[in-house]
Amino acid sequence: MTHGQQLQKQDGEDYADMGRRLKSIFSGSIGNLVEYYDFYVYSAFSLYFAQSFFPNSDPTAQLLNAAGIFAVGFIMRPIGGWFFGAYADRRGRKEALTLSVLLMCFGSLMVAVTPGFATIGYAAPVILMVARMLQGLSLGGEYGTSATYLSEMATRERRGFYSSFQYVTLIMGQLSAILVLLLLQQVLLTPQELEAWGWRIPFVIGAGLAIIALYLRRGMAETEQFTRKAAGQKISPLRELMNYPKEVAIVIGLTLGGTVAFYTYTTYMQKFLVNTVGLTKTDSTLVSAGALFVYMCLQPVVGAISDKVGRRPVLLTFGVLGTLCTVPLLTTLSHAGSALEAVIIIILALAIVSGYTAINAVVKAELFPTTIRALGVGLPYALTVSIFGGTAEYVALWFKQAGHESWFYWYVSGCIAISLVIYAIMPDTRQTSHIDRDTA
C-alpha cells in the first residue's frame, strides 16, 4: 500500500469515527431533549391545569400547590441520580439512558389521563404527585448519565463544545414545551378549552416523543471509556465514590448558584412575568420563548470558549456577574414597562447564566474516573438541584405571598456568591481531566 493510500485510509477511518461520534451524540441529545420536554411541560402548562387539580380559588395558592408538586419531582432526583448513575457505571451509559426515557414516557401518560379534582377529588393531586415522582426519578438519572456520555464521546479538543449540547437540548426541551403552548394558545384552542382539557395534549405529545427517543437510543454506541475501564466491574460505585469527597463537594458547590439562577430565569419566569410584571399569559409565553431561543444558541459558543481559555475562567465570569447583577436585573425586570424590555433583561440574565450551564456537565465529568463517573456527576448534582433548584419557584412564590418578593432576589444572588467561592478555589478541570487519564 502506498503512502497516499495509507493517508486516504486513515482519513476515511477518521471520518467514519467522527461520523459514529456525531450520530451517537445526536441520539443521546435528542433523548435528552424529549426527557426535559416531558419534565418542563408541567411548568409551562401549570398556569392552565392548576385549577383542575387544586380546589382553592386563589390563583397564587393554586400555583403554589402546583409548584409544590413540581418540587416533589425534584425530591426523587437524588434517588434517580444514585440508581441510574450506579446502573450506568456497571451496565453501561446506553442502557441507563434507554431505561430513563422509558420511565419518563410512563410518567407523562399518567398526567395526560388523570381526571381532575372535580371528578375524583383528592386522588387527582395524589396521582399527579406520583407521576411527577416517576419523572423526577427518570430525570435524576438522565443528567449524570447524559453528561457522562456526551463528555466521553467528544474529543479532547472540543469536549466543552460537544458537551454543551446537553443544555442546548435541555433548553430546546423547555422551548418546545413553550412552543406547544403558543400553538395551542394562538391557533388551535380557546382559553376555555385549554383550561378545560387542552393542557393534556402536550403530555400526550411527550409520551409519543419518548417512544421515538427510545428507538434512537437503542442504536447508540457505547463509549470507549466505559468499554475499556468499567464494563464488568465488580466494585460498588457508591462505595468507590466515598473515596472522592473533595470532588463531590466541588460538584455540590459549583451547582448551587447555577441551578437556582437557571430555574429562576427559566421555569419560574412565566409566573413572574404574569404575577409580578403584569404581562398577559400570551405575552409572558412569547417573552420566555424568545429569551430561551437566544439562550440556547449561546451554549455552544460558551462551550467552545471554555475549550480555548479553560473551564474555570468561564465559571468565574458567571459567579462574579451573577453575584453583582442578579438583584439589579430582577428589580428592573419587576418594573418592566413592556414585553420588549422584559425579554432584553431576561436575555442579559441568561447570558450570564450561560457561564455555568454551557460547561457544568463537562466540568463534573472531568472530576471523576470512568468507573464512577455517571454516579459522581449525577448523585451530588441531583441532591443539590432537588434542594435548591427544584424549590426556587416555590421559594419565590412564598416570598411573594408573604409580601417580601424582593428578598428572593437577594436569595438568588447569595446562592451564586457561595458558588463563586468554589470557582475561585477549584482546579481547572480542562487541565486535570480524568477523562484524558482514562483514555491514555
Segment 64-102, tens digit of pLDDT: 666 666 666 677 888 988 998 888 888 888 888 888 888
- CB contact at 8 A, 357 and 297: no
**Per-domain boundaries in the chain:** 24-439
Tallying the residues shown for the chain, one arrives at: 440
With bands split at pLDDT 50, 70 and 90, how would you rate the model's confidence at 424?
A: very high
The burial of 320, by beta-carbon neighbours within 10 Å (0-12 exposed, 13-18 middle, 19 or more buried), is given as middle
> What are the Cα distances from residue 181, in Å, to 92, 121, 159, 282, 296?
36, 27, 34, 9, 18
Highest mean pLDDT among 27-41, 100-114, 165-179, 415-429: 415-429
Compute the distance between CA of residue 43 and CA of residue 54 in angstroms, rounded to an integer: 15
- CB contact at 8 A, 346 and 287: yes
Highest mean pLDDT among 18-22, 328-332, 377-381: 328-332
Q: Which three cell numbers stand for residue 347?
A: 436575555
For the beta carbon of residue 222, count every other beta carbon within 10 angstroms: 16
Is 4's pLDDT higher than 60? Answer: no
Closest CA to 260 of 80, 411, 67, 65: 411
Q: Which of 22-26, 194-198, 335-339 has the lowest mean pLDDT?
A: 22-26
Look at residue 1 in the predicted model and tell me its pLDDT: 53
DSSP letter for each residue of 79-143: HHHHHHHHHHHHH-HHHHHHHHHHHHHHHHHHHHH---HHHHTTHHHHHHHHHHHHHHHHHHHHH
Closest CA to 45 of 178, 136, 138, 176: 178
Amino acid at 265: Y
pLDDT digits (tens, 9 = 90+) for 109-163: 888 888 877 788 778 878 888 888 888 888 888 888 888 888 887 777 888 888 8
With bands split at pLDDT 50, 70 and 90, how would you rate the model's confidence at 252?
A: very high
Is 327's pLDDT higher than 50? Answer: yes
pLDDT digits (tens, 9 = 90+) for 229-240: 655 566 677 788
Look at residue 56 in the predicted model and tell me its pLDDT: 61
DSSP letter for each residue of 363-414: HHHTTS-GGGHHHHHHHHHHHHIIIIITTHHHHHHHHHHHT-THHHHHHHHH
Closest CA to 25 of 390, 380, 361: 361
Mean pLDDT in residue range 281-300: 89
CA 398 to centroid of chain Cα atoms? 23
- CB contact at 8 A, 90 and 99: no
Is 362's pLDDT higher than 80? Answer: yes
Look at residue 137 in the predicted model and tell me its pLDDT: 86
Q: Which three cell numbers stand for residue 25?
A: 451524540
pTM: 0.81
Mean pLDDT score across all residues of the chain: 82
Does residue 35 or residue 380 have the better pLDDT? 380
Task: Name the CATH superfamily, with its identifier, for domain 24-439.
Answer: MFS general substrate transporter like domains (1.20.1250.20)
Helices 77-91 and 59-75: crossing angle in degrees, nearest 10, is: 30
Look at residue 330 in the predicted model and tell me its pLDDT: 93
Residue 28 half-sphere exposure toward CB, CA atoms < 13 A: 34
> What are the Cα distances from residue 215, in Å, to 17, 19, 205, 212, 220?
22, 19, 16, 5, 10
Closest CA to 364 of 253, 287, 279: 253
Q: Which of 131-145, 308-322, 363-377 has the lowest mean pLDDT?
A: 131-145
Closest CA to 90 of 220, 209, 232: 232
Q: Which of 2-16, 305-319, 392-406 has the lowest mean pLDDT?
A: 2-16
With bands split at pLDDT 50, 70 and 90, how would you rate the model's confidence at 19?
A: low
Look at residue 71 in the predicted model and tell me its pLDDT: 65
155 by DSSP, 3-state: which? coil
- What element of type H or E holds 224? helix 224-225
